[in-house]
Amino acid sequence: MQRIYLDSNATTPVHPEVVTAMLPVFTEDYGNPSSIHWFGQHAKALMDDARTQVARLINGETSEIVFVSGGTEADNLAIRGIAESQKSKGRHIITSTIEHHAVLHTCRDLEKQGYEITWLGVSADGLVDPEDVRRAIRPDTILISIMHANNEIGTIQPIEEIGKIAEVADVYFHSDGVQSTGKISVDVKKLKVDLFSMSAHKIHGPKGVGALFVKKGSVLKPQLTGGGHERNRRSGTENVAGIVGFGVAAKMAREGMGSEMDRVKELRDRLESGLKKNIDLIRINAENAPRLPNTSNIMVDYAEGEGLVISLDLKGIAVSTGSACSSGSLEPSHVLTAIGKTPDEAHGSLRFSLNSMNSVQDVDYVVEVLPRIVDRLRELSPYYKRA
């Protein structure tokens, strides 16, 4: 069966060039970067090249990149690291209700430890109002954590404006950039973030590696103690092969930022216009908000998301849903709920997330197949009455 992958906000295929760069690291360039002999120093040089590539992707300094095991660890290190280092100054943190679980559950955990969290709501388009951030700041506020782009609906937050507010208030500002990095241009200096989370596998790099940008001078309590790797910010022998792969992926993402992402956006727009034309009673979430070029989140009335995902999967198409029925927890997506959707609406949501390896044929196949699937499920629904 022909298989089409449209779930790139979950993960992406590793680019062949990335694999090629990684392979010798396992068998030839296998030194421990902390060792002073040739093997060690050679591995260190490879790792530092990768560090430079990751830094360039977001316009940071090479010394400001801390390699970690992925986006979740980057978010944990940023939030817990600041919370613990600044607790004598205060215990108040500002975040939003649409953050990734890596931020959400970390903040909830801190709440149990006695920190106070202000959870900012978002507009119907999924946007945080910078004025809400400004109003939430108190003398004991130690951290603001607002994601750059949302993984489910793709909205891009006004990070630059929030960054200015955080700078004036002299409060640490973290942004989860796992979904934005490599998809839209990121400039940490312009965004005025102190901490910025990244993940390799969302941009055709390998799983198990990510990075946290830590602005020079930031005081962060390490969450892993040991040999003092990564400038004492994260102990543990570095995942050199993964880091080398991340470096190549970052370079490719930077070089393809304009042309490749424009093409992805064209594919996304073609998908949306095709679906709108061929299926009635669907809506596109955050359609007119600033959005990632690769993400489309739609809601289908009278059809349930998990059933849609399984039906598409049986046709070889991989997508995801915010439906409660796919989560195991029986709770609909917290993001769709936060933008004011009812559980029933969230129940019928589908997320398409593309990457630069997708083609016009992929998109056209979905536009051909999905209307029939929706029709079939609606025929089964006791609520649906054919117009």
Partner 1 sequence: MAYAAKLIDYFENPRCVGEIENADAVAQVSNPVCGDVMKLWLKVDADTIIDAKFKAQGCSAAIATSSYATEMIIGMNLKQARTITKEHIADGLGGLPGSKMHCSVLACDAIREALKGFA
Active site residues: 325
Residue nearer to partner 1 on the CB measure, 51 or 378:
378
Cα-based distances in Å from 123 to 129, 239, 251, 334: 8, 40, 35, 14
Buried b (16+ CB within 10 A) or exposed e, 118-151: bbbebeebbbbebebbbebbeeebbbbbbbbbbb
Query: Which residues 6+ apart lie within 8 Å of 223 measured at CB?
Result: 73, 76, 77, 80, 81, 234
CA distance 218 to 172: 8
Does position 104 bind partner 1 by CB under 8 A?
no
CB 180 within 8 A of CB 312: no
DSSP character string of 66-127: EEESSHHHHHHHHHHHHHHHSTTT--EEEEETT--HHHHHHHHHHHHTT-EEEEE---TTS-
Does position 344 bind partner 1 by CB under 8 A?
yes
Residue nearer to partner 1 on the CB measure, 76 or 323:
323
CA distance 244 to 55: 13
Cβ at position 306, least distance to partner 1 in Å: 4
Cβ at position 381, least distance to partner 1 in Å: 4
Position among 90, 306, 369, 371 found at the interface with partner 1 (CB under 8 A): 306
Cβ at position 312, least distance to partner 1 in Å: 11
Does position 227 bind partner 1 by CB under 8 A?
no
Position among 169, 318, 325, 357 found at the interface with partner 1 (CB under 8 A): 325
Position among 45, 168, 219, 314 found at the interface with partner 1 (CB under 8 A): 314
Interface stretch with partner 1, choices 40-48, 195-203, 252-260, 342-350 (CB under 8 A): 342-350
DSSP character string of 190-209: HHT-SEEEEESGGGTS-TT-
Binding mask 347-386 for partner 1 (x = CB under 8 A): x-----------------------------x-xxxxxx--
Residues 67-96 that bind partner 1 (CB under 8 A): none
Residue nearer to partner 1 on the CB measure, 161 or 306:
306
Measure CA of the first residue to CA of the last residue in the chain; give whole Å: 34
Residue nearer to partner 1 on the CB measure, 232 or 381:
381
Position among 264, 303, 312, 339 found at the interface with partner 1 (CB under 8 A): 303
Q: Provide the binding-site residues for partner 1, judged by CB under 8 A.
A: 302-307, 310-311, 314, 323-326, 328, 330, 343-344, 347, 377, 379-384
